[in-house]
Structure 1
């Protein structure tokens, strides 16, 4: 059975940090590098071109795409298939409920959905600490994420974590426990 983890939350909620801890817990966990068309931070992304995106779209291989910070971010079928090779469990970062819905609907796997949350004030503090030069855009994204979540009260999560009060190691251990209990016995 293919499986993956969807980490949803606003900017600076700890998606990168929790992912780093999960990958330290075991080789089964891998960060899913979304395809990014644009500029800025390249860490954690597969950089692409508009032509790459057009090719994926023409083949029907775009699972989800969104635009933010002047860039296009893509969850693609070939990327997910590669990330799941050898029984690995990719960790996909999303900031929009539409992405959570699209990935779970269009890419069959057992998806563990995790809501990572932090206060707006925490995003304002963490954003410049992690090197963002566009904290005001991150705060606008925080506002959009809060509105998005409020518009989807029916959303189901296997785990909700407040990263203002929960250490990344504790969050990762809880996620790992859920993945392990939903994994087939070998």
Structure 2
């Protein structure tokens, strides 16, 4: 999705979260848990979370650097609290909820060759519950990714950014069933 966004408008840029711990390294700025804790104590984090036996963080300086260069940061988040927390950074955020059913998630994980399939399916269930627990959370755009190609989804998101779309409450219970 991010690659499609960047293809449409090169200023869309993946925000590489700070990561401390095992697992994938592509798309992250690797650091230590101690460094993330230091940034947290200094009030320099917008959000931090733990998942897949690793710790992740979104730092103000990292977002600032992209914005100062005229780029549009694309943040990949898996928690409603994180999507809300980054709004403390003073830019217009377009909050996009990408969703697909469990069977689609499983098929995509297998196609990618994910070696941690069970953990990813567990996270799907956790994310579903998080969305249900925060069903009143407003979103700018909701896309059911099994119904749209990545290019179509990227166009929807790009248009929402261009139009400075606000957020509104959506029917999350219907979405996640």
Q: How does 1:49-68 map to 2 (within 5 A)?
A: 49-68=32-51
Quote the Cα distance in structure 2 between the aligned partners of 1:108 and 1:65. Answer: 18
CA apart distance, 1:133 = 0.6
CA apart distance, 1:51 = 2.7
Q: How does 1:143-154 map to 2 (within 5 A)?
A: 143-154=125-136
TM-score normalised over the length of structure 1:
0.85
Residue in 2 aligned with 1:139? 121
TM-score normalised over the length of structure 2:
0.89
* 1:167 is aligned to 2:149: yes
Indicate if the aligned counterparts of 2:13 and 2:74 stay in contact, CA closer than 8 A. yes
Indicate if the aligned counterparts of 2:94 and 2:161 stay in contact, CA closer than 8 A. yes
* 1:91 is aligned to 2:52: no
**RCO greater where, 1 or 2, for CA within 8 Å and sep 6 or more?**
1
Quote the Cα distance in structure 1 between the aligned partners of 2:79 and 2:58. Answer: 12
Q: CA RMSD in A?
A: 1.2
Moved over 6 A (4+): none
Quote the Cα distance in structure 1 between the aligned partners of 2:62 and 2:110. Answer: 30
Residue in 1 aligned with 2:16? 33
Structure 2: gaps (5+ residues):
166-177
